[in-house]
Structure formats: C-alpha cells, structure tokens
C-alpha cells in the first residue's frame, strides 16, 4: 500500500487526464474494417506525443511466456481482457474492450472502456459501466475493498451478468500493478481498508453467460469459457479525505 504525496498526485492528475483523452481518440477510431494493430499504433503515437511511455509494452506477469508486446489491450467479444493487437479487423456489432496504460513523468495510470462497433445500445456494456460507477461511489477513507467488490457484484448479478473472479483491480501509480487487490466481488467489511492518498484502479469485467474464464494459448488473452461476450471498464482514482477523485477522466 503506497500513499502518494501532493507532487505525485499532481503528476498522476495530469497524466490521467491526458490518458483519458487518448482513450477517447482511440475509441473514436474503432470502426468496422480497422485492425486492432492500427488502434495500437495510434495509441502509441498519441502517448509518445504527450511525452509519456506505454506502460504495458514489455510488461511481464508470472507465468506468461513473453513480455506484453502492445501499447493497448484490445479484447473482442468472448475475449475478456489482455487481447494482443494484431491484423484482425473490427466488425460492426463487435463488443470491443480497449485498455490503455501510460507512464508519465515516472508515474502510472490505467483506464479501459468497452464499445459496440458501429454504435447502438448494448446492455452488457451499459451495466458494466454502471457497475464501475457504483464501485467508485463506495470509495472513501476507511472503506474496505470487500465493500467495493460487493457493490459491483450486486449491480452486475442483479441484471444476470457474470462477474469475473480471476482478474481484479489493483493499486497503481508507482507501477502497473501494486497492492492491494480490488476484486469485483466479495463481502462487505472484508479485506484491507483504503487510506487517504492511496491510488487504485477499479475494473469490473462482466460476461453475458457464465463468469468462468480461461487463458488463451498466446499466454495473455483471457477468454470466457462458455464463449459468451464480455465487457470491461476501468478508472484510476485517488482516495481523498472526502471520498474519491477519478484521475482518468477528460
């Protein structure tokens, strides 16, 4: 658990705002016929333009055969998170998750959203987004991570969506992933308490079917086991005296 000081929070605020604007620009480019690699190249170009560095590129996790090769994670339909950009072209009706992380002046922010290619309404996307907002609304000094997970789980299960268990939110700011883990499920009053100045990423992942996931052969992409579609939203935020300040918003 790392408490950030005033100077660090200023940097995270600046980096978070810039990263949010970059994600909007990348999402606007996510149209039928565009490849996930093209989106990745756009994301990298925009991060370098603001003087940041893509924080996922070269990232290693325990058990993964290779370092992560992209700037962006692009996860289509049954892909839950960590889809590696490639030559696949988007199609109208695809549910596409875009996750992006930046190191800016030495500090890290992380944000994600999901969209429906070609536009239109999608309940999975809308409810997953709402579950993130409900999770964020729990955050204040002294809240426990279980309170956040409980609220997110309630929101998603009430609408019969599955809540992914294996992947969780996390502390962030000084590294891509820090303590504590922030599950999107759980029980009120469980787990560590959040303290003032702590920077965290909350990131619910929901499925249209069963919540169980598996890792693809590429060692990175998480897939739903039943092939159902999945959505993911994420914000980086700081715990403040009065509640919460979301850092990755435009």
Q: Which residues bind ligand MF3 (CB under 6 A)?
A: 56, 59, 68, 73, 82, 99, 101, 110, 176, 201, 203, 220, 234
Closest separation between CB of residue 121 and ligand MF3, Å? Answer: 25
The binder of 82, among Co ion, ligand MF3, none, by C-beta within 5 to 8 A per type, is ligand MF3
Question: Which of 124, 136, 201, 247 is in the footprint of Co ion by CB under 5 A?
Answer: 201
Closest separation between CB of residue 87 and Co ion, Å? Answer: 23
How far is it, in rounded angstroms, from Cα 21 to Cα 232?
A: 18
Question: Which of 8, 44, 110, 208 is in the footprint of Co ion by CB under 5 A?
Answer: 110
Nearer to Co ion, 76 or 112 (CB): 112
Backbone angles phi, psi at 230, to 5 degrees: -140, 150
**Angle at CA of residue 170, ends 164 and 174, nearest 5°:** 155
Closest separation between CB of residue 95 and ligand MF3, Å? Answer: 17
Structure tokens belonging to residue 71: 């700037």
Which whole-number Å values give the CA distances from 54 to 49, 68, 172, in the listed order? 11, 11, 15
Positions touching Co ion (CB under 5 A) are 99, 110, 112, 201, 203, 234
């Amino acid at each position: 658990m790392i408490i950030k000081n005033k100077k660090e929070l200023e940097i995270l605020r600046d980096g978070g705002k810039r990263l949010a604007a970059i994600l909007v620009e990348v999402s606007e480019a996510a149209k039928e016929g565009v490849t996930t690699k093209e989106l990745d190249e756009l994301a990298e170009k925009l991060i370098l333009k603001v003087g940041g560095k893509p924080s996922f590129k070269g990232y290693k996790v325990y058990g993964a055969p290779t370092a992560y090769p992209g700037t962006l994670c692009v996860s289509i339909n049954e892909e839950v998170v960590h889809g590696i950009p490639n030559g696949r072209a988007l199609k109208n009706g695809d549910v596409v998750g875009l996750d992006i992380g930046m190191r800016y002046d030495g500090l890290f922010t992380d944000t994600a959203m999901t969209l429906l290619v070609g536009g239109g309404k999608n309940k999975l996307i809308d409810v997953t987004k709402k579950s993130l907002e409900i999770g964020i609304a729990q955050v204040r000094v002294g809240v426990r991570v279980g309170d956040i997970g409980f609220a997110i789980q309630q929101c998603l299960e009430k609408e019969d969506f599955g809540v992914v268990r294996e992947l969780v939110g996390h502390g962030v700011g000084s590294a891509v992933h820090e303590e504590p883990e922030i599950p999107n499920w759980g029980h009120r009053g469980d787990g560590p308490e959040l303290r003032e100045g702590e920077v965290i990423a909350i990131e619910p992942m929901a499925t249209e079917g069963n919540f169980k996931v598996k890792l693809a052969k590429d060692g990175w992409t998480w897939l739903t086991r039943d092939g159902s579609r999945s959505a993911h939203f994420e914000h980086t935020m700081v715990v403040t005296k009065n509640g919460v300040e979301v850092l990755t918003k435009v």
